[in-house]
């Protein structure tokens, strides 16, 4: 591991292949530091808990901040060099937002995209365990087979109520992660809270110095953090060469009360749940084969509060973004957003990894995605105002 330079700005610039854009950092962030992040984001309950700030800081061996009592905080304030990078990469600050929008041609409401598909993996092993059409697992396999990536940052179910991040370096491990999208994990910091949010960015800690190329699967806040890191050219984002963004209306968060609330809604025990999926509603499949659909508006008691101020549903800054919304059961809706996203998706279809749903109505799917995006955005702006913030600043 590279030793710390005496004038270190925690940029990771000493790591191979990564030359940080210091000018851009200064221009965007000015003198803002973790102190400002605490004041403007964390203490105002805006933090998405993506843990990008902690991942970056630890990645640079500084360890000035860590998760304390469930939130990012100083552990060694004197080690903080006020470089401002944690502030700049936070998905909840407006830093770099304009540059990001420009880079990914953002326009309201769902950002730009080149093509939309409804796809199902042809691999029966994948189909059996996938959340929707198994596109994500099949596509990561394609990227690995073609040596475009060495591995993928996904999540893995490690037993009932336990879902953790995983760096999958082979198809065997991709399969272990398939379908785990809404399994509940015990929060790493507080074992009494169960959440569907997986703190996967923490897995990137320290990886920036390895000659590896990975794909990251993540929610909009996680992908935004990675993209902001990439704009600044800082470790560990240098090893991410593909992003798969999940559509995400919200995550769920269960204390004992929340668990009881859901059990009453589904009239069954949590242990009877075989699978939870979200499209425009929550779909719960029980081990006895019963399927229960619950309107998302009825679930506010178990919505993870950190998700409420979020304004991004369709993950506009990713290379491809995916969800079940708009497709029939058993298929994944895929928006190819970047040129490389489109060319890899098209090639993977040509190589026989996927079958397309020929009954798929693209316009109808796009309308549904736009409508969820607007619904989420409206809720997010309202939440920002409830928190006493000027919502215009975030639009």
Ligand X SMILES: Cc1cc2nc3c(=O)[nH]c(=O)nc-3n(C[C@H](O)[C@H](O)[C@H](O)COP(=O)(O)OP(=O)(O)OC[C@H]3O[C@@H](n4cnc5c(N)ncnc54)[C@H](O)[C@@H]3O)c2cc1C
Range list of H helices, the chain = 22-29, 34-37, 52-59, 85-89, 97-103, 124-129, 135-145, 171-177, 220-232, 256-266, 339-350, 362-386
Q: How far is CA 247 from the centre of its chain?
A: 9
67 versus 153: smaller Cβ distance to ligand X:
153
28 versus 250: smaller Cβ distance to ligand X:
250
Q: Which of residues 309-368 bind ligand X (CB under 6 A)?
A: 322-325, 332
Question: Measured in Å, how far apart are the chain's first and last C-alpha atoms?
Answer: 40
The H-or-E segment that residue 157 falls in is strand 151-157
83 versus 166: smaller Cβ distance to ligand X:
166
Q: Which of residues 83-122 bind ligand X (CB under 6 A)?
A: none
For residues 168 and 165, what is the distance between their CA atoms, to the nearest angstrom? 9
Q: Is the Cβ–Cβ distance between 28 and 96 less than 8 Å?
A: yes
Helices and strands in the chain: count of H runs, count of E runs: 12, 16
Q: Which of 9, 240, 278, 299 touches ligand X (CB under 6 A)?
A: 278
Q: Is 43 exposed, middle or buried (0-12, 13-18, 19+ CB in 10 A)?
A: exposed
Q: Which of 49, 80, 248, 384 touches ligand X (CB under 6 A)?
A: 248
Instruction: Report, in Å, the least distance between residue 297 CB and ligand X.
Output: 13
Measured CA to CA in angstroms, residue 203 lies from 149, 155, 243, 245, 369 at distances of 16, 10, 15, 17, 30
The H-or-E segment that residue 301 falls in is none
Assess whether the previous peptide bond of 236 is cis (omega < 30° from 0).
yes
Q: Taking CB under 6 A as the rule, does residue 243 contact ligand X?
A: no
Q: Taking CB under 6 A as the rule, does residue 175 contact ligand X?
A: no
Q: Taking CB under 6 A as the rule, does residue 195 contact ligand X?
A: no
Instruction: Report, in Å, the least distance between residue 388 CB and ligand X.
Output: 27
* Segment near ligand X (CB under 6 A); pick from 48-56, 228-236, 266-274, 276-284: 276-284
Q: Taking CB under 6 A as the rule, does residue 306 contact ligand X?
A: no
Q: Which of 133, 151, 236, 245 touches ligand X (CB under 6 A)?
A: 133
Q: Taking CB under 6 A as the rule, does residue 180 contact ligand X?
A: yes
Instruction: Report, in Å, the least distance between residue 390 CB and ligand X.
Output: 27
Q: Which of 177, 208, 258, 309 touches ligand X (CB under 6 A)?
A: 177
Q: To which residue do tokens 């609330």 refer?
A: 261
Q: What residue number has its CB nearest to ligand X?
A: 323
58 versus 222: smaller Cβ distance to ligand X:
222
Q: Taking CB under 6 A as the rule, does residue 134 contact ligand X?
A: yes
For residues 23 and 3, what is the distance between their CA atoms, to the nearest angstrom? 23
* Residues engaged in binding ligand X (CB under 6 A): 130-137, 153-155, 177-182, 196, 198, 200, 217-219, 246-249, 251, 277-279, 322-325, 332
């Amino acid at each position: 591991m590279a030793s710390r330079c005496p004038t270190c700005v925690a940029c990771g610039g000493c790591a191979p292949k990564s030359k940080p854009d210091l000018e851009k950092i200064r221009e965007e962030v000015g003198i803002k530091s973790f102190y400002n992040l605490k004041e403007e984001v964390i203490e105002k309950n805006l933090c998405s808990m993506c843990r990008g700030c902690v991942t970056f800081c630890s990645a640079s061996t500084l360890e000035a901040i860590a998760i304390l009592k469930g939130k990012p905080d100083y552990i060694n304030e004197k080690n903080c060099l006020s470089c401002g990078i944690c502030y700049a990469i936070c998905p909840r600050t407006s830093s770099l937002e304009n540059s990001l929008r420009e880079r990914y041609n953002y326009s309201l409401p769902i950002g730009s995209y080149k093509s939309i598909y409804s796809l199902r993996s042809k691999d029966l092993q994948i189909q059996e365990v996938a959340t929707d059409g198994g596109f994500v697992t099949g596509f990561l396999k394609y990227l690995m087979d073609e040596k475009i990536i060495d591995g993928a940052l996904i999540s893995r179910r490690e037993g009932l109520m336990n879902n953790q991040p995983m760096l999958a370096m082979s198809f065997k491990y991709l399969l272990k992660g398939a379908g785990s999208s809404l399994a509940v994990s015990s929060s790493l910091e507080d074992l009494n809270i169960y959440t569907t949010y997986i703190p996967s960015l923490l897995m990137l800690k320290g990886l920036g110095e390895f000659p590896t190329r990975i794909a990251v699967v993540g929610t909009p806040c996680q992908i935004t953090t990675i993209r902001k890191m990439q704009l600044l050219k800082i470790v560990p984002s240098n090893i991410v060469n593909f992003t798969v963004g999940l559509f995400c209306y919200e995550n769920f968060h269960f204390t004992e009360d929340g668990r009881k609330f859901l059990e009453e809604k589904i009239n069954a025990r949590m242990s009877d749940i075989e699978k939870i999926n979200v499209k425009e509603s929550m779909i719960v499949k029980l081990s006895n084969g019963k399927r229960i659909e619950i309107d998302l508006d009825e679930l506010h008691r178990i919505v993870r509060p950190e998700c409420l101020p979020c304004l991004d549903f369709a993950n506009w800054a990713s290379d491809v973004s995916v969800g079940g919304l708009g497709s029939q059961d058993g298929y994944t809706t895929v928006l190819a957003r970047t040129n490389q996203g489109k060319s890899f998706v098209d090639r993977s279809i040509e190589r026989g990894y996927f079958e397309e749903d020929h009954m798929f109505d693209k316009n109808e799917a796009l309308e549904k995605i736009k409508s969820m995006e607007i619904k989420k955005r409206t809720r997010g702006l309202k939440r920002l105002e409830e928190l006493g913030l000027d919502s215009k600043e975030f639009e």
